[in-house]
Amino acid sequence: MANRARLIFFLLSTYLLFAFGFGAESESYFHVIKVTSLLPPPRCSTPKGSNHHENRKGVLKLDHRYGPCSPLGHRGKPTLREILSQDQSRVNSLQSRFKAQFRQVEDTKTTTLPAHLGTLIGTGNYVVTIGLGTPKSDLTVVFDTGSNLNWVQCQPCAGQCYPQQDPIFDPSKSSTYLNISCSSQDCSLLPSATGRSTRCAASTSTCVYATAYGDGSFSTGYFARDTLALTTSDVFPNFAFGCGQSNDGLFGRTAGLLGLGRDALSLISQTAKEYGKVFSYCLPPTSSSNGGYLKFGSGDATSVKFTPLLTNPNSPSFYFLQMAGISVGGQQLNIAPSTFASPGTIIDSGTVITRLPMSAYVALRSAFREFMSNYTMAPASSLLDTCYDFTQQDTVTVPKIVLHFGGNVDVDVPLSGIFSIHSASQVCLAFAGNSDASDLAIFGNHQQQTLQVVYDLASNKVGFEVAGCT
């Protein structure tokens, strides 16, 4: 009976949309779209009104690292299937870290690399360009809310360095570069070692860092300080970072990583006096758009809705949110709130596809398929099992998906976040279910597209604003 009522509701709503012209998204529970608009343009484009990154204090231009707007070029661009495989590797790493099974690499001599690095990854999908050193070197790095340590590859690459787009940072050419000593308090903050002796380069008494990802990717080298320039007016002397002498993994020709986690060594903590532990970003709707930005400090948005930011002692650097439910096509799904209570939900800038507890995902999938029952299904793609063939359609009507969070905050998933698109013949629902009840739910970056996402660590809250890129 419930399934029949939902289908009748869908058909009636679709009729009203066309019969009475209720085309605006705000006036319905559905998206009515042209199939041709689902496919991203092959060239870089700038959405109208996207000027957040132009000459503003504390604001960096943000790009998808595999798209035509990326400063990294197109060499080594993975297929969508490979991206999904890489995404699952990242999720496995996050899950194992949460379960205390993740461990840092202590000694590069004992590091075991996978036989084939081509399908594994440990970092995120969006990049920004920063300046490091005096005179500054411009470096394109991944930013990642799931990581804390900041690091870049450094000359002379005594071990090994992977190929990157920018010239590798040479500390000998920076007048403000300083190695951190083993005896410093900063060195003791490194999470990569259990004893002080393992943090020391014996010949120089220089602090050594080591960070590894669940897929075998790693970076090791000297822990150091130098001048960081986020913009021409946002300059931070004595910024602590890893100067990588031995690095490997699929980092996509980036120079390194910018950690936006919550611990003492992250960029957010090191710039707290200037920005008050507040940052935000907006991810563009497609990899072909350059309208995204990463912004530090409090913003000027007036319509941001905030949900409480939670902390889990097992992983205090992760950003936990209280997820409360899901609606599809204007109807809230019958999911017990306890489904999301344990082990919890995190928001992550580096995970692509949102992961849900299996029972919640099954409810979402069932409702979505009912609303889409008039369309031809296509074969599953990797971890995505609800796909459609739209080649015979000019337009399609898609139910909106709303994620409900604590504090009565409802996040309307943008249209670009509902589907993962291989081609018009394989358009897939961009959500997946966890395989284990002990796995975290993860609010991924694909569903965050076009939202302004505000992290206010000082007030322990995370906010969302619709159409944040414009």
Q: What is the pLDDT of residues 334-359, one digit of tens each?
A: 999 899 998 999 999 999 999 999 99
H or E element at residue 4: helix 2-20
Q: Vertex 420, ends 416 and 424: CA angle to 5°?
A: 95
pLDDT value at residue 218: 86
Q: Which of 63, 215, 234, 348 is catalytic?
A: 348
For 403-446, how does the pLDDT look when each residue is reduced to its tens digit (9 = 90+)? 999 999 999 999 999 999 989 999 999 999 999 999 999 999 99
pLDDT value at residue 76: 65
Residues in the chain where the model's pLDDT stays below 50: 1, 7-27, 101-122, 193-198
pLDDT value at residue 14: 46
Q: Which superfamily does 59-105+120-294 belong to?
A: Acid Proteases (2.40.70.10)
Q: Domain residues of the chain, as ranges?
A: 12-41+301-465, 59-105+120-294
Residues 69 and 46: their CA atoms lie apart, in Å, by: 9
Residues 270 and 160: their CA atoms lie apart, in Å, by: 28
Active site residue 144: yes
Q: Which of 87, 144, 234, 439 is catalytic?
A: 144
The interaxial angle of helices 358-371 and 2-20, nearest 10 deg, is 50
pTM: 0.88
Residues 165 and 179: their CA atoms lie apart, in Å, by: 25
For residue 115, the tally of other CB atoms under 10 A from its CB is: 6
Residues 436 and 422: their CA atoms lie apart, in Å, by: 27
Residue 306 in contact with residue 409, Cβ under 8 Å? Answer: yes
Active site residue 436: no
* Alpha-carbon 400 to chain mean position: 22
* Alpha-carbon 355 to chain mean position: 13
Neighbour-count burial for 404-436, b at 16+ CB within 10 Å, e otherwise: bbbeebebbbbbbbbbbbbebebbbbbbbbbee
pLDDT value at residue 119: 25
Same-fold call for 12-41+301-465 versus 59-105+120-294: yes
Q: Running DSSP on this structure, what letter comes out for residue 119?
A: G
Q: Which residues pair with 61 in a beta bridge?
A: 293
Residue 410 in tokens: 């409802």
Q: Running DSSP on this structure, what letter comes out for residue 22?
A: -
Specify the CATH number of the domain 12-41+301-465: 2.40.70.10
Residues 15 and 257: their CA atoms lie apart, in Å, by: 50
